[in-house]
Amino acid sequence: MAQLLLSSEDLDRTCQRLAHQFVEPFDDPGSLAIIGMQTRGVDIARRINGYIKQFFSVDVPMGVLDTTFYRDDFRTRMKMPSVQVTDIPFDLFGRDLVLVDDVLYTGRTVRSAMDALMSFGRPSSVRFCCMVDRGHRELPVTADYVGIYVPTHLNEEIRVETNEQDGREAVFVVRKKEEPEA
Amino acid sequence: MTNQSNEAYVFPHRHLLGLKDYSAEDLLHILDQTDKFLEILNRPIPKIPTLRDKTIVNLFYEDSTRTRISFEMAQKRMGADVVNFSSSSSSVSKGESLKDTIRNIESMKIDMVVTRHPSPGAAHFLSRCVDAAILNAGDGAHEHPTQALLDMYSMRRKIGRIDGLKVVIIGDIMHSRVVRSNIIGLTRLGAEVTVCGPRTMMPLFVDELGVSVSYDLEACLEWCDVAMALRIQLERQEGGLFPSQREYHERFGIKKRHLREFPNFTIMHPGPVNRGVELESEVADHPRAIILDQVTNGLAVRMAVLYLLSGGKRM
């Protein structure tokens, strides 16, 4: 059973708010850069970046990051993850990065993303933005910018849908089917 | 031709013994993944921790500097612990069998074995002796799957496709494991393959592998998109399969004038090139030759294969 958390309009409005929050700390946002995490984090990052350009007339460079190689769980999962594109077409040195993902859960993906980023150089700072923080952290990670905070049960999952991947936009919380007792 | 849209696909293999066991979908998946590993090689720090808990043995019963270095570099770029074993400096020279050697090595808790052996089928044999994942880096004149994968990847990267590509492979077809793996892989992905070389180096019934046979180099060069010259193993030519290197070059060497006469084909060679035999020296250095790209692509292909064979619980 899926329960709607954010409609398309809510998601869009949240991206606009995040665009303002990204730029707020800077007198001159020239050092700002955005890295979207594959897959839906990239779509959200693009949307936010579009609003930054619209509101502040600033071209913020954007990259795309896949963290598969840095994950600590890829060998214990049933399915071997397919590696996706990583493309960071600018020098990280001296940049103030914002890393964008769709859902923050255990914190392991963010940890692997920070490891991955360090292969590309030494940024001045890295902040983290997620559209949904659902709790249940396994590592001491917190987000600097959050779209919506949703306390969840472990048998629920958060589904973020984007136009690019799913043909529609929304955020749902979905209750997984109960496992039959052995 | 790409496989990326198929999200439900799961790579099903535990070993890479030869391309014969791999479907077109498996091959495309490896080539698609290789793109991502090539990107890593261009990073400021071209190293990832993906295999940091794996121990890999490079078990080489035959000398092979470039294949071994390529595998070793791929393994180290992915953080694996690497042990190199060569038969000349081991108990093999005291008479220990292949099975005993590998079982002893496996007792030291290894995860993967990259093996080269002069006997066809050695990699298959090893896969039945131990639990570790086996990667065939050349077994006699049988198969050399990673070389064929890097060749196919290089073609796709340079020309943009494999399906419908016209490829001529020139040289010692009979003794080449590279040819065998390439024929299997290329035809499976829809390429047209012609083999060309001296009659003394052409195996009987090679056409049954789904390739055309030609003894006319210039006709082949006019027809093909890719001309892959094989290394003539001068050390193996004491049996006199051709009269002289000079005569071989005259009939089957790619020359500078061929580049003028046939302006479209791309030149490939698995290396090391015997300059003046398979290729005239200027041909080997020509911009249409992608021999050094093949070396770089080889590293990325081997990283992709090591990654895919290294884990995941099998479904």
Residue ranges of domains in chain A, CATH in brackets: 9-21+31-153 (3.40.50.2020)
Write out pLDDT tens, residues B180-208. Answer: 999 999 999 999 999 999 998 999 888 89
Among the partner-chain residues A66, A70, A121, the one whose CB lies closest to the CB of B49 is A70
Task: Search chain A and give the residue with CA nearest B7.
Answer: A82
Compute the mean pLDDT over every residue in chain A, rounded to the nearest whole number: 91
Write out pLDDT tens, residues B227-272. Answer: 999 998 776 666 677 778 888 999 999 999 999 999 999 999 998 9
Write out pLDDT tens, residues B18-52. Answer: 999 999 999 999 999 999 999 999 888 899 998 98
Lowest mean pLDDT among A63-77, A138-152, A158-172, B285-299: A63-77
Give pLDDT, residue B102: 86
- Cβ B249 vs Cβ B277: under 8 Å: yes
User: How far apart are the C-alpha atoms of B292 and B286, rounded to whole Å?
Assistant: 11
pLDDT over threshold 90, residue B148: yes
Which strands form B266-268's sheet, in the order they lie side by side?
Answer: B212-214, B192-196, B166-170, B226-229, B266-268
Residues of A in contact with B48 (CB under 8 A): 69-70, 119
Give pLDDT, residue A66: 93
Among the partner-chain residues B4, B32, B313, the one whose CB lies closest to the CB of A76 is B313
Residues of A in contact with B2 (CB under 8 A): none
The CA distance from B41 to the nearest CA of chain A, in Å, is 11
Determine the residue among B5, B7, B43 to mutate to test chain A binding: the one whose Cβ has the most chain A Cβ atoms within 10 Å: B43
The pTM for the full model equals: 0.85
Phi and psi, residue B110, nearest 5°: -105, 160
The CA distance from B119 to the nearest CA of chain A, in Å, is 33
b/e burial code for range B184-205 (CB count within 10 A of at least 16 → b): bbbbbbebbbbbbbbeebbbee
Q: In this complex, is the C-beta atom of A93 within 8 Å of any C-beta atom belonging to chain B?
A: no
Write out pLDDT tens, residues A130-142. Answer: 999 999 999 999 9
| Residue in the block written with tokens 């030759």 | B289
**Could you tell me which residue, A74 or B272, shows the higher pLDDT?**
B272
Domains and CATH numbers, chain B: 24-143+296-309 (3.40.50.1370), 145-290 (3.40.50.1370)
Rounded to an integer, the average pLDDT of B133-154 is 95
Among the partner-chain residues A78, A83, A119, the one whose CB lies closest to the CB of B44 is A119
Q: In this complex, is the C-beta atom of B176 within 8 Å of any C-beta atom belonging to chain A?
A: no
Give pLDDT, residue A69: 84
Would you list which residues of B are annotated within the binding site for L-aspartate?
A: 94, 177, 231
Confidence of residue A52 (pLDDT cuts 50, 70, 90): very high
pLDDT over threshold 80, residue A80: no
pLDDT over threshold 90, residue B134: yes
pLDDT over threshold 60, residue A108: yes
b/e burial code for range A51-71 (CB count within 10 A of at least 16 → b): bbeeebeeebebbbbbbbbbb
Rounded to an integer, the average pLDDT of A48-67 is 96
Q: In this complex, is the C-beta atom of B85 within 8 Å of any C-beta atom belonging to chain A?
A: no
ipTM of the complex as predicted: 0.71
Residues of A in contact with B49 (CB under 8 A): 69-70, 115
User: How far apart are the C-alpha atoms of B273 and B279, rounded to whole Å?
Assistant: 7
Instruction: Tell me which residue of A19, A95, A74, A81 sits closest to A51, measured CA to CA.
Output: A19
Task: Search chain B and give the residue with CA nearest A85.
Answer: B36
Rounded to an integer, the average pLDDT of B211-219 is 96
Long-range contacts of B235-240 (CB under 8 A, 24+ apart): B236/B175
User: Which residues have a Cβ under 8 Å from the Cβ of B30 and sit 6 or more positions away?
Assistant: B22, B149, B301, B304, B305, B308
pLDDT over threshold 60, residue A156: yes
Residues of A in contact with B11 (CB under 8 A): 80
Confidence of residue B307 (pLDDT cuts 50, 70, 90): very high
Among the partner-chain residues B37, B310, B313, the one whose CB lies closest to the CB of A78 is B313
Q: What percent of chain A has pLDDT over 70?
A: 92
Q: In this complex, is the C-beta atom of B239 within 8 Å of any C-beta atom belonging to chain A?
A: no
Instruction: Tell me which residue of B228, B150, B212, B162 sits closest to B189, measured CA to CA.
Output: B162
pLDDT over threshold 50, residue B166: yes
Phi and psi, residue A144, nearest 5°: -80, -35
State whether B40 and A69 contact (CB < 8 Å): yes
Give pLDDT, residue B173: 93
Instruction: Tell me which residue of B232, B240, B222 sits closest to B278, measured CA to CA.
Output: B232
Q: In this complex, is the C-beta atom of B109 within 8 Å of any C-beta atom belonging to chain A?
A: no
Lowest mean pLDDT among A70-74, B116-120, B307-311: A70-74
Q: Following CA atoms B169, B173, B176, B179 in sequence, which dihedral angle do they give, to the nearest 10 degrees?
A: 40
Determine the residue among A39, A72, A73, A80 to mutate to test chain B binding: the one whose Cβ has the most chain B Cβ atoms within 10 Å: A80
pLDDT over threshold 60, residue A18: yes
Would you list which residues of B are annotated within the binding site for carbamoyl phosphate?
A: 66-67, 116, 144, 147, 271-272
Give pLDDT, residue A119: 87
Rounded to an integer, the average pLDDT of B165-171 is 97
Write out pLDDT tens, residues B111-128. Answer: 999 999 999 999 999 999
- Cβ A141 vs Cβ A107: under 8 Å: yes
State whether B307 and A119 contact (CB < 8 Å): no
Residues of A in contact with B50 (CB under 8 A): 69-70, 74
- Cβ A145 vs Cβ A21: under 8 Å: yes
Residues of B in contact with A120 (CB under 8 A): 43-45
Residues of A in contact with B46 (CB under 8 A): 119
Give pLDDT, residue B315: 35
Residues of B in contact with A94 (CB under 8 A): none
Confidence of residue A176 (pLDDT cuts 50, 70, 90): confident
Instruction: Tell me which residue of A32, A34, A30 sits closest to A62, measured CA to CA.
Output: A34
Give pLDDT, residue B5: 47
